[in-house]
Amino acid sequence: MDTHILVPLYLALLASSLCFASAGDIVHQDDKSPKRPGCDNNFVLVKVPTWVDGVEDIEYVGVGARFGRTLEAKEKDANKTKLVLADPPDLCQPPKFKLNRDVILVHRGNCSFTTKAKIAELANASAILIINTETELLKMVCEANETDVHIQIPAVMLPQDAGGSLRDYMQNSSQVSVQLYSPERPLVDVAEVFLWLMAVGTILGASYWSAWSAREIAIEQDKLLKDGSDDFTHGEGVPSTGVVNINTTSAILFVVIASCFLVMLYKLMSVWFMDVLVVLFCIGGVEGLQTCLVALLSCFRWFQHPGESFIKLPVVGAISHLTLAVSPFCIVFAVIWAIHRRDSFAWIGQDILGIALIITVLQIVHVPNLKVGTVLLSCAFLYDIFWVFVSKLWLKDSVMIVVARGDKSGEDGIPMLLKIPRMFDPWGGYSIIGFGDIILPGLLVTFALRYDWLTKKNLRAGYFLWAMTAYGLGLLVTYVALNLMDGHGQPALLYIVPFTLGTFLTLGKTRGELKALWTRGEPDSPCPHVQLQSSQSQ
């Protein structure tokens, strides 16, 4: 394997550990409780802007309880109210002082959520804020034996760090005021539309480049065969394709090693480890951007000569003059992104580097037949489900979502994903998709177009159009599931794999071509398109 493709392949492997998730996925269930009278609210995120001694301070995010009065949806309708600290802190007993329609801040534990809320209401509180014992938010539900709950004040849970900050202010004799309101999230944000277009467009572009390259290689080999080249018949003088074909064993190992990387990320996630990932992403992004720019510029007559003339450099070896000219720009671009990666506009540079890397990987790595594609995607399907859902039972966390969010890293997420800010969402955040959710199904889609071109099938009679449509629909269903699940991260391959792989297998079986797709797939050299045509006529 050529050394220049090791970093992109490594990053593709690492990226396969990511799931499709929304940056607003911060709510986790505390307990299961059926809805009943007085305990049938929907769980909603709550904005909690604060003022310390009259000066506007941090805005925190909480989650509303299953019980209690619902909150206003608009900021202008929410009252600015004084916050007081409960005494006793857990409010499992009536407070030692009477409230004047204040919001009371209490600690979680020692009695039920509804007990705390009832005591606060009797003490004339206007709302209750409960500090969680963890940095995440948990949904507050009613007790299993409570059949009829009548609580007329809102109850909101805050994460441990937010509640601790407010408590510290009040213990230092500062006066704190808060507002509580819960703006509604749009059903569909325009960011999701653009992200869908980016994912589909990336696979579309990579497929046509991969198919065009495969056809050019086939034509070149055909010419060598017709010329009767002795070097060609002995396997010499054949143009180097730079392509890596995955076999069944490597497809299984791909997912096994990805699991090891995922666990390593989960265990070692920190500021320094994130810096390592940023450096690796920049190296892969530079390689991908350089490859894409050289290929694009080579299409123009003015750049053909620099692209075909080479210079030999120490360590690097032979490199074209065009590549040499493009490299400084790619390096500077990646360095600027790395320096400004925490800025609000950094997602643009991350997406450019990411798309270039994905296209390069799909150009380099090929699935040679449907058998390998089926094994790879089936393993990835089970892998996604395990690390999103089953890992909660083992490690008490959804490992994939923790890694995707970049918890404990000081970042908004690891860089191996495409992201777009949610433009019309009052909660902000990003819609994101992991590289693996594009690369893995993309390997099958690019295989489909190469097969169609080398067998001279038109769009309707071929497999690419149907595979591309299936991927788009699978990704669309992922968005629907994401919204139906209140923004909880979803493993995109759970929906994409049945659509793409199922469509391919069904279509091949219906057309009677499944055996050829399964065992041979892409034709063998020399002269692949001639061999395929002859095999079909037999």
Q: Are 369 and 521 in contact (CB under 8 A)?
A: yes
Report residue 53's pLDDT band, with 50, 70 and 90 as the boundaries.
very high
Helix/strand/coil for 393: helix
| Residue 48 pLDDT | 93
| Residue 223 pLDDT | 73
Share of the chain above pLDDT 70, in %: 84
Q: Are 417 and 15 in contact (CB under 8 A)?
A: yes
| Residue 122 pLDDT | 92
Query: Has residue 484 got a pLDDT over 80?
Result: no
Report residue 268's pLDDT band, with 50, 70 and 90 as the boundaries.
confident
* Residue 196 burial (10 A CB sphere; 0-12, 13-18, 19+): middle
Q: Given the structure tokens 């449509």, which residue do they identify?
A: 469
Catalytic residue among 437, 452, 486, 524: 437
| Residue 511 pLDDT | 92
Of the spans 136-140, 165-169, 261-265, which averages the highest pLDDT?
165-169
Q: Taking all residues of the chain, what is their mean pLDDT, rounded to a whole number? A: 82
Select from 152, 1, 13, 126 the least CA-distant residue to 70: 152
C-alpha–C-alpha distance, residues 273 and 238, integer Å: 43
Report residue 119's pLDDT band, with 50, 70 and 90 as the boundaries.
very high
Q: How far is CA 296 from the centre of its chain?
A: 28
Report residue 533's pLDDT band, with 50, 70 and 90 as the boundaries.
very low
Cα–Cα distances in Å, from 439 out to 171, 213, 374?
A: 53, 18, 14
**Secondary structure of 430-470 in the HEC alphabet?**
EEEEECHHHHHHHHHHHHHHHHHHHCCCCCCCCCHHHHHHH
| Residue 185 pLDDT | 79
| Residue 353 pLDDT | 95
Report residue 537's pLDDT band, with 50, 70 and 90 as the boundaries.
very low
**Model pTM score:** 0.81
Regarding predicted confidence, which is higher, 393 or 469? 469
Q: Is 486 an active-site residue?
A: no
- Can you tell me the mean pLDDT for 447-467? 91
Query: Has residue 270 got a pLDDT over 70?
Result: yes
**Secondary structure of 347-359 in the HEC alphabet?**
HHHHHHHHHHHHH
How is residue 342 written in tokens? Answer: 């925490």
Query: Has residue 147 got a pLDDT over 80?
Result: no
Mean pLDDT is lowest, of 7-11, 119-123, 465-469, for 7-11
Query: Has residue 103 got a pLDDT over 70?
Result: yes
Query: Has residue 238 got a pLDDT over 50?
Result: no
- Can you tell me the mean pLDDT for 125-153? 85
Count other Cβ atoms within 10 Å, centred on residue 238. 16
- Can you tell me the mean pLDDT for 499-511? 95
C-alpha–C-alpha distance, residues 247 and 221, integer Å: 23
- Can you tell me the mean pLDDT for 144-158? 85
Q: Is 384 an active-site residue?
A: yes
| Residue 24 pLDDT | 42
| Residue 33 pLDDT | 59
How is residue 327 written in tokens? Answer: 């490299």
| Residue 187 pLDDT | 77
Mean pLDDT is lowest, of 27-31, 164-168, 280-284, for 27-31
Query: Has residue 489 got a pLDDT over 90?
Result: no
C-alpha–C-alpha distance, residues 285 and 291, integer Å: 10
DSSP category for residue 312: E
Query: Has residue 515 got a pLDDT over 70?
Result: yes
Beta bridge partners of 238: none
C-alpha–C-alpha distance, residues 411 and 403, integer Å: 11
Report residue 232's pLDDT band, with 50, 70 and 90 as the boundaries.
very low
Catalytic residue among 384, 397, 412, 425: 384
Report residue 472's pLDDT band, with 50, 70 and 90 as the boundaries.
very high
Domain segments of the chain as ranges: 44-178, 187-226+243-524
The predicted-structure confidence for 392-417, as pLDDT tens digits, reads as follows 778 777 787 777 776 666 666 778 88
DSSP category for residue 184: P
Question: To 10 degrees, what angle do helices 321-339 and 271-297 make?
Answer: 150
Report residue 288's pLDDT band, with 50, 70 and 90 as the boundaries.
very high
Report residue 38's pLDDT band, with 50, 70 and 90 as the boundaries.
confident
The predicted-structure confidence for 317-373, as pLDDT tens digits, reads as follows 678 888 889 999 999 999 999 999 989 899 999 999 999 999 999 998 899 999 999
Question: To 10 degrees, what angle do helices 346-364 and 190-226 make?
Answer: 30
Q: Is 135 left (phi over 0), alpha (psi -120 to 50) or beta?
A: alpha
Of the spans 186-190, 252-256, 445-449, which averages the highest pLDDT?
445-449
Report residue 14's pLDDT band, with 50, 70 and 90 as the boundaries.
very low
Mean pLDDT is lowest, of 258-267, 288-297, 499-508, for 258-267
Report residue 227's pLDDT band, with 50, 70 and 90 as the boundaries.
low
* CATH class as words, domain 44-178: alpha beta
Q: Are 83 and 166 in contact (CB under 8 A)?
A: yes
Query: Has residue 8 got a pLDDT over 80?
Result: no
